[in-house]
Structure 1
Amino acid sequence: MLAIVTIQVATRLLSRSVPWSEELTRNSFIVTVFLGMTVGFRRLEHARITFLLKLLPKHLQSLYIHFYFISGTIFFVILAHQGLRMTLQQFRSGEMSPACGIPMYLVTLPISIGAALAIIAQFQSVYVDKSTRKKLIQELFVGEEGLTSEDRFQ
């Protein structure tokens, strides 16, 4: 992707723009973001908002990890569904990208694939991998004394 952007900048400086470079960069970015998002959810390297959860009563805070999984799953199911609808529409219509001439469904398919993989990755990080589950729990209860994070979620 970096090479394509470099070519795009260099050719624009020479007043000879390459028509396919911008489109290919945008399409590569879509694929990279939606497939890379899965890795972020698996390793817990994505943004999470926990300050509101700390305001909840202690007995509701113990539901945090399940709320985290359920809310993420709902979002990714909607994303996968809408992405698949768009992909199928582009497939049926035979839509092609204007500059590169590739089928547009190949560009939007990673949206659904990435969302499905993110659900799997999130499930693994919450319910399968004990180290990532512990990291999630510790984020919420940093600084509380006399109570281990595991005590809250047993």
Structure 2
Amino acid sequence: MKKVLHFINEYLEETICVCLMSFMTVIIFIQVVMRYVMHNSLSWSEELARYCFIWLIYIGVAYGCKLMKHIKIDAALHLFPEKIRPYIVITGEVLVLVFAVYIVVTGVELTYKQWEFGKISPALGLPLQFINAAPVVGFGLVVFRQIQTMWKLVKELPEKGAEKEDGGEA
């Protein structure tokens, strides 16, 4: 069980992104072969590739947050005194968390409405709530990863203070 949890914690987003990208590439390759070799086009392939891409984007957002590579301005961080920089970073992470929670809440509402109205995609006939669940799942993972990141940053705060004091006394 511990190995499974470790795998999920370390490789969940990467695995999903690689699978989605591979599947999307195969679908598009098949579509190209069908169109130019067989002179016949598949009606559903582009739509399925588009939906895979949508899911790939939202899972990729969670992966970016896991690596702390989301949009931020590092140059502005150096405008603040060195002692408060860790707190500025944590404040930025809290803002990303608040935005992610907002997206999850509004995404759940949208997904519920799609389910309620029974909307389906044109070519695949796939219920649209599965497509509109991508932001919910992706930003749900962002919430989880942001909490992990903030926990790590807060745990490092006293250590950074202790290192400064030790460095100053030596």
TM category, shorter: 0.7 to 0.9
Runs of 5+ consecutive residues of structure 2 not aligned to the other structure: 1-23, 165-170
Task: Tell me if 1:151 matches 2:151.
Answer: no
Distance (Å, rounded) in 2 between the aligned partners of 1:152 and 1:113: 39
Residue correspondence of structure 1 range 1-150 to structure 2 within 5 A: 1-14=24-37, 15-58=39-82, 60-128=84-152, 150=160
CA deviation string 1:45-78 (max 9, x = no partner): 4443211121234454342222122110121112
Question: How many pairs are equivalent?
Answer: 139
CA contact (8 A) 1:65 1:126 kept: no
Greater relative contact order, per chain length (Cα 8 Å cut-off, separation 6+): 1
The alignment yields a C-alpha RMSD, in angstroms, of 2.8
Offset at 1:94? 0.2
Identity percentage of aligned residues: 27
Measured in 2, the distance between the counterparts of 1:100 and 1:64 equals 47
Bigger fraction of residues in helix = 2
C-alpha displacement of 1:6: 0.7
CA contact (8 A) 2:90 2:153 kept: no
TM-score (norm 1): 0.75
State how far apart, in whole Å, the 1-side matches of 2:45 and 2:68 are.
33
- Gaps in structure 1 of 5+ consecutive residues: 138-148
TM-score computed with the length of structure 2 as normaliser:
0.69
Amino acid at match of 1:7: I
What are the Cα deviations for residues 77-134 of structure 1, in whole angstroms up to 9, with x where unaligned? 121122212211110110001101110101111211211221111111231478xx86
SS of match in other structure, 1:98: coil
